[in-house]
Structure 1
Amino acid sequence: MADIHVEEFYRDVAIALSQLYSAFPRRINLFVEDIAGPDEPDEFGLHSKRHMACFGALLWLAEEGFLRYVDTIRQEALDQAVLTRDAFIRLSSPAPAALAELAGVTPDESELPPSVRKDLSTYIHLIRQALRSGHSERIGAIVRAAFFSTSSW
């Protein structure tokens, strides 16, 4: 079992990538509250550790070349964020069948058109399925497989 902050990191990454993919190629404002939930700054105006961890995850995604953005909106959002070319290609790529089984995605291929089978096998589809399941180990495994277990990154 991973540390809770690592599980939250994978969840934050999965949600952010899903939001960016859904809007691609349009640039969007990526709000921390939409990913980590509502946050009330304390009496000094400081955000919670959870909020700052999510904001840090978004900045890390940019530093590692998964997304680009124009500016930050305080510590609340990334302004004009968009997936990089490599992140878009990776999310659109078919995932290994074993990973689809881990995500609980095993469509009956005989009944589906080839284009639908192809869409259901992509990393972004598996990430979305894992998010719907709410299973943190599954989310982490899919995010790791999609982005961190490849030599091309």
Structure 2
Amino acid sequence: MADIHVEEFYKDAAIALVQLYMAFPRRTNLFVEDIAGPDEPDEFGLHSTRHMACFGALLWLAEEGLIRYVDTIRQEALDQAVLTRQAFVRLNAPAPQALVRELSTAPREPSLPASVQKDLSTYIHLLRSALKSGSSSRISLAVQSTFFNDAGLEPVH
């Protein structure tokens, strides 16, 4: 089992990427509160550790070339965020069938049209399915498989 902050990172990253995919190619504001939940700054105006971890995850996604944004809105959002070409192409790519069988929550229907079967086997579908399941291990595996396997890393089961 991974540390809780790493599990939260995977979930934050998956939610952000799915939100940006749904808006693509439009630029949109990506609010931390929409990803990590409501936050009440303390008496000094400082956000919670959870809020700042999510904000940090968004900045990390940008630093790693998965998303672009114009500016930050304090520590509350990324202004005019959009997926990079690299992220968009990867999210639309077909995932290995073994991974699709393991992570997909949709029943496998051989009678579905080929175009629907193709859509159900993409990385974006795996991220959506993992988020829908609410399972931290499924979310972690989906994010690791989507973005880290090209680096020669194998997802942890």
TM-score of the aligned structures, taking structure 2 as reference length: 0.94
Instruction: Name the counterpart of 1:85.
Output: 85
Measured in 2, the distance between the counterparts of 1:57 and 1:110 equals: 38
Instruction: Show structure 2 runs of 5+ residues with no match.
Output: 153-157
Cα root mean square deviation, aligned? 1.2
Measured in 1, the distance between the counterparts of 2:136 and 2:107 equals: 22
Answer with 91-100 or 27-36: which moved more. Answer: 91-100
Instruction: Name the counterpart of 1:44.
Output: 44
The answer (yes or no) to whether the contact 1:9–1:57 under 8 Å persists in 2 is yes
Measured in 2, the distance between the counterparts of 1:146 and 1:122 equals: 9
Question: Could you tell me the percent identity over the aligned residues?
Answer: 74
Measured in 1, the distance between the counterparts of 2:3 and 2:108 equals: 36
Q: 5 Å matches for 1:1-150?
A: 1-105=1-105, 107-150=107-150
Measured in 2, the distance between the counterparts of 1:131 and 1:52 equals: 21
Counterpart residue type for residue 81 of structure 1? A
Measured in 2, the distance between the counterparts of 1:130 and 1:24 equals: 20
TM-score of the aligned structures, taking structure 1 as reference length: 0.96
Instruction: Show structure 1 runs of 5+ residues with no match.
Output: none
- SS of alignment partner, residue 44 of structure 1: coil
